[in-house]
Amino acid sequence: MRKPVRASLCVALLFIATSTPAVWAREAIRNAGDIFPKRIAKPVYQGRWQPIVKGRLRNGVRYAILPRQGHEAGAGLLLRNDGGFIAERRPGERGLTHLIEHVALLSPTTGSPTDRYHFLNKGLSLSLPAPSAGTTSWSETNYFVSSKTIKPEDLDKLLGLFREVASDLTLRTDAVDEGRTQVVDEMARRKPGNDIYASYIAAVAPGSPTDVINGQNSDDVPTASVATIRALYHRLYRPENMMIVIVGDVSATKMRALITQRFGSWQDVGPAAVHAPVSTFKADRIAPISYASLKESRRGVFMTVVSPLPPVPRTRKRQAQAALMDMVMVRAVNNRLALAHPDSPPNAVGMWIEHGEQGHRLIMLWNNFTGDQWRSAVGELKQLTCNLRTGGFSEPEWSAAKQDVIHGLAASSDTMAEMANVELAKDLSHALAAGSDLIPPDEMLGYAKGWFPAIGTITANRWWNEQWVAGAEHIRVEASELAMVKDPVAAIRTVADNAVLAGCKVRP
């Protein structure tokens, strides 16, 4: 059940989105790494996380296990299938990966052919209730549960349910029909917001997966035959497309044995799915301005720059550096915005960096204005980005931002035990899929304390100019009153250009 993209600092290491997951700075920042203090080249801040154990079974199933102590009595378990909306390549398949996600919780299995709601009937006694047990995005489908205990026999039963989802669903007609109703209702509720979001992505990241494949299009869900749904299920739910993640106070050796026992004998059936190349955004097609004027629109101004996903830094140290640089830049800009809006509610203004489902890196500043304030919001954000380009950061605000990040990491380190196992499992799955490390807060704190004294405003201003100014800036305004403006794009351009000097005006 697809959720909106969300932002999280849950591990204080990598910025994640709903479909959220990892962020690191451009490779151009690598020069800053040359001054990384040698004395902390080998991190010693492992905290309450034991080393992550990861690998791949002979049949291709990937796994990752994070033993850690927390406040929960159980563990977080996650099953990931690398096959989302982008895999719906054949006629008549639109929305069917999402439908399979729903039906997985409703369908009998080959081992229990008469047990309707098999997953729920067997799993509810072993797991805690959750608002959602699955998500589908353009690239993947995830199933996740929080167990009530860490008894090996309980975790083994839950892994057995995951295995049945992966290979043994019968997709019985009555279960499929119930799933159809759920998906159609869900998409109907979300359609206005999805349409607004799709128009934003089409403007800011044209050609990216979310723009091209229209993942929210579920037109074939009501009419697709069970045979078509079953064919897609068997094409995508294969060992080489699967990942299992377990997080909790568990023995990695025992968990690996359970995973091997449940999934090791699974063999491919039928031809493998052909994974088409993932499309990337077309920078030359990014519009300088877009707007939404539907009554369901948010009231906000968003200024963004989009760039290709940078390669994952090869070392753990450089991954930590890149994440820390993003974190301190976000804090510096947020602090400046907060000073300009001392009476605004939380999250009314801000900056965010996301490596999201669209397959690109997005830097966004926003102002969720109230009343008829879109003009002043546009002018203010345009002025801010221009001032950073021409004047950069001051030493006091850069120092304050670094201290804020250190304080935040220290707080996260102190509350590591409170992090939810299932949320860490999601973060770990994203990191594993991206080929990056999942770094705990206390280790990040050690990196920050050692590295921050060596990076000053020169590095900060270079970062801004390399990452913001080098990209294609986009201004987005969402407000229903724009429906009464004769030419909204021209009106937005005029406001933005009047707010800044000639060198910062909106591109033609």
DSSP 140-191: -EEEEEEBS---HHHHHHHHHHHHHHHH-B---HHHHHHHHHHHHHHHHHHH
* 242/225 Cα distance (integer angstroms): 25
Give the pLDDT means over successive 10-residue stretches in the chain (508 positions): 33 30 29 35 53 96 96 96 86 92 96 95 91 86 97 97 97 97 90 82 83 70 96 94 97 98 90 72 90 86 90 95 97 96 91 81 93 94 94 96 98 92 96 94 96 96 89 92 95 97 90
* Contact call for residues 508 and 487 (beta carbons, < 8 A): no
State the pLDDT at residue 358.
67
Q: Dihedral angle at the C-alpha atoms of 172, 177, 182, 188, nearest 10 degrees?
A: 140
Rounded (10°) angle between helices 316-340 and 395-414: 120
State the pLDDT at residue 17.
30
Question: Does pTM top 0.85 for this prediction?
Answer: yes
* 456/399 Cα distance (integer angstroms): 8
State the pLDDT at residue 214.
60
State the pLDDT at residue 489.
97
Q: Give ∠ CA 116-119-121 in degrees, rounded to 5.
A: 65
* 372/481 Cα distance (integer angstroms): 8
The helix (run of H) or strand (run of E) holding residue 79 is strand 76-81
Tallying the residues shown for the chain, one arrives at 508
Closest by CA to 124, choosing from 148, 107, 99, 150, is 148
* 77/429 Cα distance (integer angstroms): 11
Handedness of CA 285, 290, 296, 298 (dihedral sign): positive
Coil, helix or strand at residue 211: helix
> Who contacts 365 (Cβ-Cβ below 8 Å, separation ≥6)?
302, 303, 304, 333, 337, 350, 351, 381, 384, 385
Closest by CA to 218, choosing from 84, 333, 336, is 84
* Contact call for residues 119 and 104 (beta carbons, < 8 A): yes
State the pLDDT at residue 251.
97
Residue at token pair 């890196």 = 361
Closest by CA to 143, choosing from 434, 426, 437, is 426
Closest by CA to 101, choosing from 221, 192, 20, 244, is 221
